[in-house]
Amino acid sequence: MNAASEKISAAMTGPEKLAALIDRIVSFTEEEKLQFVGSFKEAKFKKRQCIVQPGECAQHRNFVVQGAFRAYALDDEGQDHTISFAVEEWWITDYNSYIYQQPATMSVVALENSVVLQLDFTSEQALKSSNHKFETLFRILAERGLAAHQRRIISNLTQTAEQRYTYFLTHYPKVAQRLPQYVLASYLGMTTEFLSRIRNKRRKTKQ
Amino acid sequence: MNAASEKISAAMTGPEKLAALIDRIVSFTEEEKLQFVGSFKEAKFKKRQCIVQPGECAQHRNFVVQGAFRAYALDDEGQDHTISFAVEEWWITDYNSYIYQQPATMSVVALENSVVLQLDFTSEQALKSSNHKFETLFRILAERGLAAHQRRIISNLTQTAEQRYTYFLTHYPKVAQRLPQYVLASYLGMTTEFLSRIRNKRRKTKQ
DNA sequence: CGCATTTCTTGATGTGGTTCAACTTTGTGC
DNA sequence: GCACAAAGTTGAACCACATCAAGAAATGCG
């Protein structure tokens, strides 16, 4: 079976998921996939465990095999803001810290007991210089991330809290159910109280 | 003289600026720099001229040689929001449109009479596949853009309007003077009236 | 199971920032 | 250099969303 056409399913192992994912972005040989996936190490984290801490350098790019994580930062008043999150087959780290190898400004924690595949910075450099195709893969990942971040900035600037929630709900219905409300609220740039009110209001008008 | 150590100055030509810029990111031979820069075409735009329009595909990645541009989107009420801007030696386009080659959602317009070097999508693909180093260069540009966008999202989520303005002012004092106030205000996520009040208040408390 | 902790809800009140409108200043094309 | 357009200012009213507080529900864990 050709992994390029393979749908990623919960039944697959972590390495299988990762191999299938990269094969959909750039076409690889079996050996290349093995080399790529072999550069990652599996790690398990319990709920509330931290994989990146402010002040310390983000060592890894993390591919989520099972579970969920969120990255958050604190403001001057100690308020918590969700910068990004990740569920199965998504990536997460403090990119600013990872790519510049500087101390992180945010925390990344497990929201559930989770399994990830971790690629450390040095191994990533080795992969990229060993094969043009790996360089291409990371370039595409970065570009897509850039485009997604730009869409989020547009959404934050142009939409109201309720519009952002509605958008999220239609595009990520499963994730919206799975994330704790305070995580979703702070990701969308509002308080948990306000999101509660929005949901309440929508429940009433819907039926 | 080695371009890697060369400071970019207003006296340089567009191609010289571009060559110096890429050489600071990845080390290139003279031929490589010529090949890279040769793939760009110079174009001039008058103030208020549009280089990307909503509905049409962003054809180019634009390197600003002289002048200034801004990218903006309109919300449901027709309000104008500055998504990004660029002055000399910065890049600008609708990335989402450019990388996926889909219709743009935003407009990019010249804020002054300007000169740019334009790389069209097909030429960019050719460059990337012809040489691993070019692929690396674009990967690094995308990564840095991603990190910058993430910092902006954090700033929008965690800071007040005044804090964002203060931050901008200390980090980009010249740009802050050069951009029209309504552009800066909508970039920072506030109205031009409110930025006017912030500036006014700061003038009073400073002296 | 049962107790503690975390998460969510709801109301009352507060505020950072917007809106609208009228005016002043600055820039620009002919 | 004048006329008109574009950009910036100021005040008053308003609103989307935050804050605070207190209780209810859900979750986790010994």
Q: What pLDDT digit, counting tens, does each position of B70-96 carry?
A: 999 998 888 899 999 999 999 999 999
pLDDT bin (cut points 50, 70, 90) of residue B3 is very low
Counts of helices then strands in chain B (DSSP H, E): 9, 8
**Do A95 and B136 count as a contact with CB atoms less than 8 A apart?**
no
The pLDDT tens digits for A93-137 are 999 999 999 999 999 999 999 999 999 999 999 999 999 999 999
**Do B154 and A83 count as a contact with CB atoms less than 8 A apart?**
yes
User: Does an H or E element contain A83, and which?
Assistant: strand A80-86
**Closest residue, by C-alpha, to the C1' of D27:** A180
**Range A88-92 average pLDDT:** 96
Query: Strand D: which bases are under 7 Å from protein Cβ?
Result: 7-12, 16-21, 28-29
Distance, angstroms, CA A182 to C1' C8? 9
Predicted confidence at residue A86, as pLDDT, reads 96
SS3 B72: strand
**Residues pairing with B123 in the sheet:** none
Identify whether the C-beta of residue B146 lies closer than 8 Å to the C-beta of residue A150. no
For residue A79, what is the nearest residue in chain B, using CA coordinates? Answer: B158
> Is the sign of the CA dihedral A125, A121, B143, B103 positive or negative?
positive
User: Which range is least confidently modeled, A177-186, B5-14, B144-153?
Assistant: B5-14
Predicted confidence at residue A5, as pLDDT, reads 54
In the predicted model, what is the mean pLDDT of chain A?
93
Would the Cβ of B194 be found within 7 angstroms of any atom in strand C?
Answer: yes
Predicted confidence at residue A29, as pLDDT, reads 96
Q: At what angle do helices A192-206 and A161-171 cross, to 10 degrees?
A: 70
Predicted confidence at residue B1, as pLDDT, reads 46
What phi and psi values does residue B106 have, to the nearest 5 degrees? -125, 170
The shortest CB-CB distance from B146 to any of A76, A132, A142 is to: A142
pTM metric for this prediction: 0.92
Answer yes or no: is pLDDT of B206 > 60.
no
Distance, angstroms, CA B195 to C1' D11? 15
Identify whether the C-beta of residue A54 lies closer than 8 Å to the C-beta of residue A164. no
Predicted confidence at residue A207, as pLDDT, reads 44
Give the total residue count for chain B: 207
Answer yes or no: is pLDDT of A159 > 60.
yes
Answer yes or no: is pLDDT of B189 > 70.
yes
In the predicted model, what is the mean pLDDT of chain B?
93
User: Which range is least confidently modeled, A7-11, A112-116, B38-42?
Assistant: A7-11
Predicted confidence at residue A124, as pLDDT, reads 98
Predicted confidence at residue A3, as pLDDT, reads 44
Kindly report the three-state secondary structure assignment for every residue of A99-165. Answer: HHCCECCCEEEECCCEEEEEEEHHHHHHHHHHCHHHHHHHHHHHHHHHHHHHHHHHHHHHCCHHHHH
Distance, angstroms, CA A104 to C1' C7? 28
Q: Which of B139, B144, B188 to mutate to test the interface with A (most CBs of A within 10 A)?
A: B139
Size of interface A-B (CB pairs under 8 A): 109
Answer yes or no: is pLDDT of B108 > 90.
yes
User: Among candidates B63, B178, B46, which has minimal Cα distance to B112?
Assistant: B46
**Do A189 and B157 count as a contact with CB atoms less than 8 A apart?**
yes
Higher-confidence position of A77 and A163: A163
Predicted confidence at residue A206, as pLDDT, reads 53
For residue B138, what is the nearest residue in chain A, using CA coordinates? Answer: A139
Distance, angstroms, CA A57 to C1' C3? 40
**Do B154 and A73 count as a contact with CB atoms less than 8 A apart?**
yes
Radius of gyration of chain B measured on its C-alpha atoms = 18
Strand A80-86 with A114-120, pairing: unpaired
Answer yes or no: is pLDDT of A53 > 90.
yes
Q: At what angle do helices A121-130 and A30-38 cross, to 10 degrees?
A: 160
Identify whether the C-beta of residue A110 lies closer than 8 Å to the C-beta of residue A69. yes
Task: Tell me how close the Cα of B11 comes to any Cα of chain A, in angstroms.
Answer: 31
Answer yes or no: is pLDDT of B103 > 90.
yes
What phi and psi values does residue A113 have, to the nearest 5 degrees? -65, 130
Q: Shortest CA–C1' contact from A190: which nucleotide?
A: D17
